[in-house]
Amino acid sequence: MKDMLDQRETLLIVDDEAAIRKLLSQKLSREGCQCEEADAAEQVLNTLATSPIALVILDIKMPGKSGIELLPEIKSSYPDTAVIMATAVNDINVAILCLKQGADDYLCKPFNLEEVSLAVQRALEKRHLKLKIREYQQFLEEKVEEQTGEIRKFFLGAIEALVSALEAKDKYTGGHSRRVTEIALALGNELVLSAQDMEDLRWGSLLHDIGKIAIDQLIQNKPGKLTPEEYEHIMIHSHVGADIVRPVVNENIVAMIEHHHDRYDGSGLNQVIMGDDIPLGARILAVADAFDAMLSDRPYRLAMPITEVIDEIKRCAGTQFDPDVVTAFLNTVGMTTT
Ligand SMILES: [Fe+2]
């Protein structure tokens, strides 16, 4: 039992007869195992709760709770502990029942000590292998998760760069997504979002206008008022953007992008949800997006003064915007609600 000698596994020998415990304990200790003993169910459970036991040799017939009753309890609480059943009754049905309930092996009394030794070695090796396989599986899962995260980050970074490039081409929208992200995160902070929701909000804000890649530049930069058809064409960017990012981001971010032009009162173009059914991230984004847009020059108007912008956002609380988000916005910009 060279492996066992190296590892000094702890075994628990359970039998109501002290002489049998001693015999097994001496034999297995000589072979390098550390042996603990127990004579009844309660002591078995106490020992398992306090020591890391690799293997239990469990007598089937004991006063009080039998080994057959104890086996499922051990296996459900300590699934990594191997169990070898021992009984004086050479009964194949008992053996099958125990193996079905998760026992690793079965020994008959009177013991042949060499057979005991071999059975213990086999059970310990099987346990060791099971633990190794699980460790390896966990390692692989962590690696896959790590690499998936890396690929996702890389892809999102590339899309972010694309958004910046798109915006940089247009003198009216340069830096818009970055500024919207800063404002949205300040609102998210004010609304005490969880760390995960803040991370989603960050990506949703950075990518919210990626769908503009599909918009006709002439319409987007038209200096005059848009026709209803042109406006409808511009507004497809929410859906296009959601479709672009869907393969690599979670549903929360997709929904944020999809609904970032939804109006709180439900009166937006082709809008299907309203009020608090609109994802909170999208309601935040709506305010942040409008704030930055009004503060910037547009082909059809110059930038508005900040006081007018704030008044306009206030005026639209409950119609275009979620009133709670507007309150958070006013707190963020240092204005109180009236
Ligand atoms: Fe947009």
Nearest to 272 by CA among 282, 262, 257, 280: 262
Among 45-59, 169-183, 192-206, whose mean pLDDT is lowest?
A: 169-183
Structure tokens, 132: 């190794």
Q: Taking the model in full, what pTM does it have?
A: 0.61
Helix, strand counts (H, E) of the chain: 15, 5
- The pLDDT tens digits for 128-162 are 999 999 999 999 999 999 998 898 888 888 888 88
> What pLDDT digit, counting tens, does each position of 220-267 carry?
888 888 899 999 999 999 999 999 999 888 999 999 999 999 999 999
- How many angstroms does the Cα of residue 261 sit away from the middle of ligand 1? 6
* Centre of ligand 1 from the C-alpha of residue 36, in Å: 70
Instruction: Output the CA 212–ligand 1 centroid distance in Å.
Output: 8
Residue 150 Cα to ligand 1 midpoint, Å, equals 28
154 CA distance to ligand 1 centroid (A)?
23
Closest-CA residue to 32 (of 121, 126, 153, 127):
121
Amino acid found at 93: N
Tell how far the Cα of 314 is from the centroid of ligand 1, in angstroms.
20
Six token digits for residue 195: 């760390």
